[in-house]
A and B are shown apart, each in its own frame.
Chain A
Amino acid sequence: MANVDLKNLTKKYGDVIAVQNMDLNIPHNEFLVLVGPSGCGKSTTLRMIAGLEEITSGEIYIGDQLVNEKDPKDRNVSMVFQNYALYPHMTVKENLGFSLKIAKVDKKEIEQRVKEAVQILGLDELQKRKPSQLSGGQRQRVAMGRAIVRRPDAFLFDEPLSNLDAKLRTQMRTEIKKLHQKLQTTIIYVTHDQVEAMTLADRIIIMKDGYIEQIGSPIEVFNNPINVFVATFIGSPPMNILEAEIIKRDGKIYFELDQDVLMPCPESKASLLSQKNKVIIGIRSEDISPSNSNTSDEFWYFEKNIDLAEPLGTETQLFIKLKNKEIISRMYNPREIEIGEQINFAVNLNKIHIFDNETKKIIK
């Protein structure tokens, strides 16, 4: 039952900056996902909130209480680790009840709360087993159960699904989401997997090199990435990125995507580009698709030979080259494709992203 606030949080290891001046307000009951490549500072942030890592400067509040100087045990947060960290010498039941036993909670109460957790997670038949006798998914559940039993102010998840195989990961993802709806608590979740981030989060924070790159709902960060990094990090396959010269012809602005391949600039953006010679264009693969017609004003059409086709069933991903860069297009009505075949592509001009070629930030 608490919000978590970070104020100007910084963590340095010697001269190496892990987290830089981070400001963040996490309201009660939010499912917040920290995502980013390894070494971006997301785990360090989580561990600072848990109290496992010292803070170099800044402040952390949990439920409006400053916890900088508090030991992990006094912060009333629960953490679920990547490798589960179940106590191997205790049974499932003992694992679940351990934190309450340490807190000297009344035995009946322990019994009651362990029972609740067991029911929520469907661990009934496993209570007497030791962790070594459990499968990966079961261990994961026990690890979550251990966190639930404590009734913490906030749950901290550190890449909890990355040790599971793909199928189980999808299943556990759903369970975590349901759990959040059931428990109504703040969850701070760290992952490097953008799919996990998209599917779980109320709000995503994309981090890189200790800085927050962007904060927003999954749809927001997907549709309006603030810079090239976020644009390529979120979404699969990653957004196509092309450097383009700006060419002015007949009072109109064009982007030169390849030799003699000129894409018109949407009029809404034209005024922003008067000073620029060069930009970075980002187009998601679903916004470049094969088309039979070439008449609509909202689209720009070009023809290109196919380098490679990867059929996925519901869609086929087509690989073409522009300026020697590989571009992926999605074909939603798959048919047999021959390599080298020339296809007419349509680009949705309203959906293209234009980034500054120096700052890599969105131009708008």
Chain B
Amino acid sequence: MNRKFLSSPIILILPSILAIGFVIIIPLIFSFYTSFTSYKLTRPDSLYNFVGLRNYERLIDNVKFWKAFGRTILFLAIVLNLELLFGLGIALLINKITWGQRTLRTIMMFPMMFSPILVGFQWKYIFNDNIGLLNNFLYLFGYESAIPWLIGKKLAMGSIMAAEIWANTAIFSILLLAGLLGIPRDPIEAARVDGCNSWQVFKNITLPFLMPFIFIALTIRSLDVGRAYDIVHIMTGGGPAMRTELIWTMIARVGYKDANMGFANAMSYVSIILSIAFTYYFFTKLVAARRELGQQ
């Protein structure tokens, strides 16, 4: 009995580890290797052309890459914060509604079911300067000159963010609403009796209780930040003139269009570290927030 029992959790986890090992770890090891070569898809023998740290040196010297990197961080910071804020707002709003709350919640989940690629096309159409819904709508109010949402220097990035926020706010509002519905009434009533106003109740009772839910949402979201690639890829392809180039679209361009695998893989590593850092950060925050509420 002893041996069978002890080993069974390992056996149970093994298939998961094997699957991840095959699909994620082995490719990563391979791409780690190629990031030290001058590998080009078009010249298979270049796989063995070891160039040491040259790809990484090129990366460090590459202004375009660092611009894309900085832009990606900025993009994530703005998008995640706004999603959280809007999500919280929507959750508080729905929480106040008593009649039809369920239905409303269901409708709010709608964008979660959209493929990012579809979100991209949808907003590409909405923001189209010529035939897009938005300009069409503004036309009704007399704005006859078409606004170049996806072409304008600053507008393009904002448009992409709008699409990203539309697609991903749902996860925040749904989870935060679940958190709000789960808050016990007693502490809130006690705070009221103790003389707190609505804002103080929110700040001192509601928000601390919501923290784990906020971090669950952020953790789940951070797992998928890389999927912003799909939206950008469709909406602008990184253009105009690379103004919306994020690290992911740059990888795709360098890797597939320029067929420069070694260099693209070096960039991939930076993007992987970025994603993992985000997830790790939120995950540890989640664990800490949970501990604070004593919900270990």
Chain A residues near B1 (CB, 8 Å)? 54, 68-71
Per-residue B-contact encoding for A41-74, CB less than 8 Å = 1, 0 else:
0000000000000100000000000001111000
Per-residue B-contact encoding for A327-351, CB less than 8 Å = 1, 0 else:
0000000000000000000000000
B42 at the interface (CB under 8 A from A): no
What separation, in Å, do the CA atoms of A54 and B4 have in the docked complex?
Answer: 11
What separation, in Å, do the CA atoms of A68 and B2 have in the docked complex?
Answer: 10
Chain B residues near A70 (CB, 8 Å)? 1
B30 at the interface (CB under 8 A from A): no
Chain A residues near B5 (CB, 8 Å)? 54
What separation, in Å, do the CA atoms of A54 and B5 have in the docked complex?
Answer: 9
Closest-CB distance, B230 to chain A (whole angstroms)? 41
Question: Which range holds the interface residue count of chain A?
Answer: under 10
Chain B residues near A54 (CB, 8 Å)? 1-2, 5
Closest-CB distance, B2 to chain A (whole angstroms)? 6
Chain A residues near B2 (CB, 8 Å)? 54
Q: Name the CB-closest residue of B to A51.
A: B1
Q: Name the CB-closest residue of B to A72.
A: B1
Q: Name the CB-closest residue of B to A71.
A: B1
What separation, in Å, do the CA atoms of A69 and B2 have in the docked complex?
Answer: 8
Closest-CB distance, A214 to chain B (whole angstroms)? 32
Chain B 29-86 residues near chain A, CB threshold 8 A: none
Closest-CB distance, A59 to chain B (whole angstroms)? 14
What separation, in Å, do the CA atoms of A68 and B5 have in the docked complex?
Answer: 14
What separation, in Å, do the CA atoms of A71 and B5 have in the docked complex?
Answer: 10
Closest-CB distance, B1 to chain A (whole angstroms)? 5
What separation, in Å, do the CA atoms of A70 and B5 have in the docked complex?
Answer: 12
Q: Name the CB-closest residue of B to A68.
A: B1
What separation, in Å, do the CA atoms of A335 and B105 have in the docked complex?
Answer: 67
Chain B residues near A68 (CB, 8 Å)? 1
Closest-CB distance, B193 to chain A (whole angstroms)? 29
Per-residue B-contact encoding for A210-248, CB less than 8 Å = 1, 0 else:
000000000000000000000000000000000000000
Chain A 62-115 residues near chain B, CB threshold 8 A: 68-71
What separation, in Å, do the CA atoms of A65 and B5 have in the docked complex?
Answer: 22
Closest-CB distance, A285 to chain B (whole angstroms)? 40
Closest-CB distance, A70 to chain B (whole angstroms)? 8
Per-residue A-contact encoding for B204-234, CB less than 8 Å = 1, 0 else:
0000000000000000000000000000000
Closest-CB distance, B247 to chain A (whole angstroms)? 46
What separation, in Å, do the CA atoms of A107 and B1 have in the docked complex?
Answer: 32
Q: Name the CB-closest residue of B to A69.
A: B1
Closest-CB distance, B6 to chain A (whole angstroms)? 9
Closest-CB distance, A32 to chain B (whole angstroms)? 25
What separation, in Å, do the CA atoms of A54 and B1 have in the docked complex?
Answer: 8
Closest-CB distance, A247 to chain B (whole angstroms)? 54
What separation, in Å, do the CA atoms of A70 and B2 have in the docked complex?
Answer: 10
What separation, in Å, do the CA atoms of A69 and B5 have in the docked complex?
Answer: 11
Closest-CB distance, A358 to chain B (whole angstroms)? 41
What separation, in Å, do the CA atoms of A54 and B2 have in the docked complex?
Answer: 7
What separation, in Å, do the CA atoms of A71 and B1 have in the docked complex?
Answer: 7
Closest-CB distance, B248 to chain A (whole angstroms)? 45
Per-residue A-contact encoding for B113-136, CB less than 8 Å = 1, 0 else:
000000000000000000000000
Per-residue A-contact encoding for B1-21, CB less than 8 Å = 1, 0 else:
110010000000000000000
Closest-CB distance, B49 to chain A (whole angstroms)? 53
What separation, in Å, do the CA atoms of A315 and B279 have in the docked complex?
Answer: 66
Chain B 241-261 residues near chain A, CB threshold 8 A: none
Instruction: Identify the A interface with B (CB < 8 A).
Output: 54, 68-71
7 A-B pairs with least C-beta separation = A69-B1, A54-B2, A54-B5, A71-B1, A54-B1, A70-B1, A68-B1
Question: 7 A–B contact pairs at CB < 8 A?
Answer: A54-B1, A54-B2, A54-B5, A68-B1, A69-B1, A70-B1, A71-B1
